[in-house]
Amino acid sequence: MNDKYNNAQKMIYKDEDVLKLEDLSHIVNLNLDSTNIEKEIREKFPIENYGDKEDPLKIKKSKSLYDNFFKNKGNKLDIRETLDNIEYMGLSDRNEIILRFKGNSKAKDIVAKGTNKSRRDFLDLFSMAGFGTFCIKNNLKDLLKENIEQLLPQFKNKTVQFRLIEYNNKWLIRGITSDKYKNYDNNIVLYLSLLSLNNYALKERINFYVQNMSITDSEMYLSFEQENPIQIDGLGTLYFSILVVNSEIKESAVNFNLRYRIVDKNNREFMGKPKTLSHSAVSINHSVSVKTAKNRLKDLFRLKEAQEEILENIKYVKNTSQFTREALVEIMEKIVNNTTVFSSDTRTSMSKFYKEIAGNTVALIEALNRVEELSSNIDERIYIQSIIHEVLWKAAKKEKSNVTNVTS
């Protein structure tokens, strides 16, 4: 994702900046245009089962989140169509795929242009993405078109789902997925997030507030932080949060991930995100039924177990120069050597940063804060948070073991 993390919308809290339970009905509303999955979501997650409709949510800034969501909501179409009703019209001058929809669907006679990824996804329907790249590089576009036009009738009954986005009065192909893919779109994920986290907050007697958000035409990142932080002696103030991530066009999952933030007395901070810690995440694959999604969301209450485990071990993290140097060496290696996740710029910045502070005395939180800021890409920063947690977790458990051995 190209969105900048620092541009995630941070909202000013007002006393009235809280939704009522009944307001959630407007996020997934029931009307003639409602999709089957929207109807099923409202059936399996009825608002009346979660309290009185006039009850305010225990999520501050939820109204600002709601307003910003609808402000950024664009015009889009999800179409399930057989390949018999698709006409391949060729490639644009930028090698973007151009398709015409011929069927009786709501997209009839729409001509839409795709991205390079859409082109690869379309050609992959016939296992020929590599062949397509070869034809484009060697100026054999007519050969590519000839092959596609021969293959489309052969697979005419194959059903494919297309996501179209309207931009500047033109339709763009944003994604191509299988017909098994369920549209857990951003509005559904927002509805489930607010409903489930409010339920969690009521039962745990806590409050959340919307820490930040980033929403595009097809992706959403939301961070809900708990109030009432915990003081960790010799380290700083610990805050827990839940990060919600969804992509409408990737055949992946909706993820609810536990994160934590530690802030020192100088207001410097870093974030950690457990990746392998038991009960630290709830994942809902886009191919699962709404019934399965409901069962998975019950696991949100197991995040409490992960919080307690973090609390038990984080106190063994030492804010010392030696601890900082050892942690930074391992973090640097994990970033610099990972060419799959991190860009060349991020890996170079990490190397420069390590050389800059080598031999200097730097507080742990200050160092980790600077590491996190090496990238402004959301996905990279979340991955860095996972690395930070992994390294600190291993060091903390080692320190805990040493302390236990000394006292036993």
Tens of pLDDT, residues 139-193: 999 999 999 999 999 999 998 888 888 888 889 998 887 766 677 889 999 999 9
- 156 near 81, Cβ under 8 Å? no
pLDDT the model gives residue 279:
75
Residue 197, burial from CB neighbour count under 10 angstroms (0-12, 13-18, 19+): buried
Confidence of residue 8 (pLDDT cuts 50, 70, 90): very low
Region 251-259 average pLDDT: 86
pLDDT 10s digits, 334-356: 999 999 999 999 999 999 998 88
pLDDT the model gives residue 27:
93
Confidence of residue 405 (pLDDT cuts 50, 70, 90): low
Region 381-386 average pLDDT: 94
- 198 near 225, Cβ under 8 Å? no
pLDDT the model gives residue 9:
38
Confidence of residue 35 (pLDDT cuts 50, 70, 90): confident
Length of the chain: 408
pLDDT the model gives residue 7:
37
Long-range interactions of 308-311: CB distance < 8 A, separation 24+: 309/277, 309/278, 310/240, 310/260, 310/274, 310/277, 311/230, 311/238
Region 21-47 average pLDDT: 86
Confidence of residue 408 (pLDDT cuts 50, 70, 90): low
Region 235-262 average pLDDT: 89
In this structure, is the dihedral angle defined by the CA atoms of residues 330, 334, 336 and 342, taken in order, positive or negative?
negative
pLDDT the model gives residue 33:
64
pLDDT the model gives residue 179:
67
Q: Is the pLDDT of residue 88 over 90?
A: yes
Structure tokens of 169? 């009065």
Q: Is the pLDDT of residue 362 over 50?
A: yes
Structure tokens of 212? 């930040």
- 307 near 281, Cβ under 8 Å? no
What is the average pLDDT score of the chain? 87
